[in-house]
Structures are given as structure tokens and as C-alpha cells.
Amino acid sequence: MTESEISIKRKYKKLEDFDPQFFENIARRSNIFSCIQCGTCTASCESGRWTAIRTRQIVRKAALGDLSVLEDPDIWLCTTCYNCYERCPRDVRPTDVIIDLRNYASEIGNMSPNHTAVVGYLRSTGHAVPINDKIIRQREALGLDPIPPTLYKYRDEENSEIIPFHKLFRVVERGKEYKERKANSRKNLDGFEKLS
């Protein structure tokens, strides 16, 4: 084990690093403690054929409370194809486990900037993929309304319903704050837990 790996593990050894709700939630939404580590999930994984994601390991870490899995970028390589979910002989639903882990990783600020940008689009336009001028002309040529009747069309009306969308997915801000808070408190720990 390299030094940086050890320091990641140590990061989750204090009580305050754990959220007791976390395992309760995961256990409630999946059958994570039924896992027999057979590896059907890893063998069925489409992303795993090209990347380092090992679904069996992720499920094992989550079941054992090894939260270093939240620092692992691999949990973001799942394409949610649901092969493991369909084939699991113990009905563990690994896809749901990974989604729950991603939710938790987001809360502690482990998010890709590409993903947070998509949240920005949703808040400002109501779409993850906003319209552009080329498409507006294309829609006209096809005989469609130039702007579809989605929330984007009504974004400038009085009391527009786009406003409450700004409050959605605040997890982006919560995650960033958590990361900053952690970084600051770590500075006070005489550099012992300095992370790579």
C-alpha cells in the first residue's frame, strides 16, 4: 500500500467522518449485506472491461464501511447499464449501491467539474442540453415551433418557475463547502494528514 492510500484510509477512521444514516440508507435501498462476493457483477460490467472499476470490490468496501470508496473515481465510471443489477443472484442491486455512493461522494465534494456544469445548465435553462441557434433554424425547417414549449420558453415570464430550479441540487455547493471546511481543519493538524 502506498503512502497516499494509507492516508486516504486514515481520513475515515474518526467517528465524525461517519454518517450513521449512510449505511442505514444503503441497506434499506439495496440488499448490500446479502452479498456473497461471487463477482457476477464485475464479470457483467461493461465499463469494467475497459477501466479499473470492480463492482464486487465497491460493494465489499461499502458493506465493510471502508469509505475510501468515496474518494475512488471508479464509482463514476459505471454507465448504469444494469447488467449487474439484473444478474445478481442475491438481489443486491449494485447499480443502486453505486448511485447511493455517488450521492454521498457528492455531499463531501467529490464531483467532476463536467458534471457540475450540467447542473448549471439545468438551473439556468431547465435543460441538461440547452437549445442553440442552429437547432432553432433546423426546427423551423422541419415545421416545428422554433422554441419547444418547455420551461426555457417561459423563463422570462413573471414569477418564472425557473427560479425555484436555482435551489435544486444544492449538493454542489454543500460539497464544495465540506471540502473547504475539511481542508481548513486539516491545516491545523500539524500536517500529519497531508494528502497527496
Partner 1 sequence: MVKENTFSFFLGCIMPNRYPQIESATRFVMKKLGFTLMEMERATCCPAPGVFRSFDKSDWMVAAARNIAIAEKNDADILTVCNGCFGTLIDVNKHLKSDPEMAAKVNEKLKEMGDYQWKGTIRVRHIAEILGFEVGPTEIQKYIVRKAEARAAVHYGCHLLKPSRIRQLASPEIPTFLEEYVEALGVKSVDFAQKLTCCGAGGGVLSFDKNTSMKILKEKLGHMQAANPDFIFDTCPFCQLQFDGGQTTVNEIYGTNFDIPVIHMSQLTAWCMGMDMEKIGLQYQAHGKDYQFKELKEPMEKVSIKEKSIEGAG
Report yes or no: 179 and 185 within 8 Å, Cβ to Cβ.
no
Residue of the chain from 6, 144, 183, 195 that contacts partner 1 (CB under 8 A): 144
Q: Which is nearer to partner 1, 37 or 51 (CB)?
A: 51
Restricted to residues 6-45, the positions that interact with partner 1 (CB under 8 A) are: none
CA distance 59 to 131: 39
Residue window 46-85: x/- pattern of binding to partner 1, with contact defined by CB under 8 A: xx-xxx------------------------xxxxxxxx-x
User: What sign does the CA torsion over 150, 155, 156, 158 have?
Assistant: positive
**Of positions 18, 115, 120, 176, contacts partner 1 by CB under 8 A:** 115
Cα separation, 62 vs 173, whole angstroms: 25
- The span from the CA of 35 to the CA of 56, in Å, is 9
Nearer to partner 1, 161 or 177 (CB): 161
Q: How far is the CB of 54 from partner 1 (least distance, A)?
A: 14
